[in-house]
Amino acid sequence: MEDFQYREGELYCEDVPVSRIIKEYGTPCYIYSHASLLRQYRAYDSAFSGIPHIIAFAMKANSNLAILRLMAKEGSGVDIVSGGELFRALRAGVPPQKIVFAGVGKNPDEIRDALKTDILMFNVESSAELQAINDVAASMGVRARVALRINPDIDPKTHPYISTGLKKSKFGIAADRALEEFKLATSLKHIEVVGVHKHIGSQLTEVTPFVEALKKILGLVQQVKAHGTDIRYINIGGGLGITYSDEKPPKPQDLAAAIAPLVQHLNCTLIMEPGRNIVGNAGSLITRILYTKQGEAKRFVIVDAAMNDLIRPSLYGAYHEIRPVQQRFVQAATHMVDVVGPVCESGDFLAKDRTLPEVPPGEFLAVMSAGAYGFVMSSNYNSRPRSPEVLVRGGEAHLIRARETYEDLVKGEAIPAFLN
């Protein structure tokens, strides 16, 4: 996280001291680096510059309008998985012809809205969904562009919750049924088959699973083309990992070097769906220490951020580096601690059995690598307002989402008259 560094005795994001952001916006608070976002997006774009391609940012990783607008201005499209994400993408100015719609449970209203918008394509995950898209398209008198998502049964060697390319996964069409599904798709009057899609998982730290899965898909592409279907797009999905602790994931250039020889002769446009790899290490969650507590078996650091703000540690057992905001504490005596929040759950923690320097109550910690699947997975559990989000560009800090108020918590709720 090169844009989050200690300078003049404290943690900075780019040229802004984190303490200044804390003073203005309080904690918990998400902070993102504009420079990091640009650098990582451009690394992807330049790595694949020798191949016709579309980067469809996986906005489930971070769907703030400002970040989507930044991506769109750089030329990015988006990978969406809901009608709400379609709404956000359009509001942020993403061109419809760079939007791909994935997900196993698209409902008729979402399909209709996407067709009205004339998005690039749907990634279809089942024959039932294929028929549903055909029916909605028929009712509108249009044809829907689709790519069939194929499950190649490749082990991505990542957390089971974010593995999507195995036989037991709910995602995609089994490879041994793919030709049959392509035949069905081409027989439907309101379906236009334009591509093939695969996505095997998230936080991948090796190139090999990408290559193995792509080889399976390319074999299928040749068979489909032999049956007269013009495949114009090959979607390789996303999933390239980032460094949270000691991982050494491949870079976009490494992925491009492994994949380019396989696809450059196919006369197809390559679509890729990076999310975490672009935003993960561009963000940090800042939290204030409320109390320290020495229990009979453990020492606890109780902070004002909780599992409702960042659920990844509770949900996945995920590791996030935690740093003091003030550098002077880095050299303090260390203790083995659990960093926990105020939520009334034993599973509410940001770190367990972590060796950290002693930082007193009232001071602040930075939870690193929180740009992906941080705020987007946050909730109002325990009636906690969600955190603000701040985008730093050089020496300027811009509020891109205000902290929710208590009034926001009850917006849309009503007490029926019989209870009055």
Please tell me the predicted confidence (pLDDT) of residue 340: 98
- Written as one string, the DSSP assignment of 43-77 is HHHHHTTTS-EEEEEETTS---HHHHHHHHHTT-E
Q: Is there a binding annotation on residue 324?
A: no
Please tell me the predicted confidence (pLDDT) of residue 168: 52
- 137 pLDDT above the threshold of 50: yes
Q: What does the pLDDT look like over 289-337, one tens digit per residue?
A: 999 999 888 999 999 999 999 999 999 999 999 999 999 999 999 999 9
Instruction: List the structure tokens of 142.
Output: 């249009």
Q: Which residue in the list 13, 29, 268, 344 is annotated as catalytic?
A: 344
Q: Is there a binding annotation on residue 373?
A: yes
H helix intervals, 234-330: 252-263, 276-279, 312-316
Q: What does the pLDDT look like over 197-213, one tens digit per residue?
A: 887 777 888 888 888 88
Q: Is there a binding annotation on residue 345?
A: yes
Catalytic residue status for 344:
yes
Q: Express as a percent the part of the chain with pLDDT over 90.
A: 74
Answer whether 4-32+280-410 and 103-272 agree in fold: no
Q: Is there a binding annotation on residue 403?
A: no
Range ranked top by mean pLDDT from 98-107, 167-176, 179-188: 98-107
Phi, psi dihedrals of residue 111, rounded to the nearest 5°: -60, -45
Q: What does the pLDDT look like over 384-399, one tens digit per residue?
A: 999 999 999 999 999 9
Please tell me the predicted confidence (pLDDT) of residue 212: 84
Please give the helix or strand (H or E) that residue 16 lies within, else none: strand 16-17
Please tell me the predicted confidence (pLDDT) of residue 175: 63
Please tell me the predicted confidence (pLDDT) of residue 172: 63
Contact between 348 and 372 under an 8 Å Cβ cutoff? The reply is no
- 156 pLDDT above the threshold of 60: no
Please tell me the predicted confidence (pLDDT) of residue 164: 43
Q: Is there a binding annotation on residue 386?
A: no
Q: Which residues contact 15 (CB under 8 A, 6 or more apart)?
A: 392, 394, 395
How far, in Å, CA of 93 to CA of 74, rounded? 12
The fold of 4-32+280-410 is Lyase, Ornithine Decarboxylase; Chain A, domain 1 (2.40.37)
Please tell me the predicted confidence (pLDDT) of residue 180: 79
Task: List the chain domain ranges.
Answer: 4-32+280-410, 103-272
Please tell me the predicted confidence (pLDDT) of residue 48: 93
Q: What does the pLDDT look like over 255-284, one tens digit per residue?
A: 999 988 888 888 899 999 999 999 999 999
More confident residue, 167 or 29: 29
Instruction: List the structure tokens of 82.
Output: 């809901």
Q: Is there a binding annotation on residue 232?
A: no
Find the range with the poorest average confidence among 5-19, 20-34, 142-156, 297-311.
Answer: 142-156
Q: Is there a binding annotation on residue 241?
A: no
Give the mean pLDDT of the chain.
92
Of the candidates 288, 283, 305, 310, the residue with the CA atom closest to the CA atom of residue 390: 283
The fold of 103-272 is TIM Barrel (3.20.20)
Q: Which residues contact 135 (CB under 8 A, 6 or more apart)?
A: 108, 190
Find the range with the poorest average confidence among 292-296, 346-350, 398-402.
Answer: 292-296
Find the range with the poorest average confidence among 57-71, 179-193, 349-363, 380-394.
Answer: 179-193
Of the candidates 327, 352, 324, 325, the residue with the CA atom closest to the CA atom of residue 338: 352
Q: What does the pLDDT look like over 88-106, one tens digit per residue?
A: 999 999 999 999 999 989 9
The pLDDT confidence band at residue 184, using thresholds 50, 70 and 90, is confident
Instruction: List the structure tokens of 404.
Output: 């929710």
- 154 pLDDT above the threshold of 80: no
| Beta-strand runs (E) in 198-317 | 233-235, 269-272, 283-294, 299-303
Q: Tokens 């100015």 identify what position? A: 93
Q: Is there a binding annotation on residue 145?
A: no
Please tell me the predicted confidence (pLDDT) of residue 165: 40
Q: What is the DSSP letter of 371?
A: S
Q: Is there a binding annotation on residue 2?
A: no
Please tell me the predicted confidence (pLDDT) of residue 223: 80
Please give the helix or strand (H or E) that residue 5 lies within, else none: strand 4-7
Q: Express as a percent the part of the chain with pLDDT over 70.
A: 95
- 161 pLDDT above the threshold of 50: no
The pLDDT confidence band at residue 158, using thresholds 50, 70 and 90, is very low
Please tell me the predicted confidence (pLDDT) of residue 183: 85
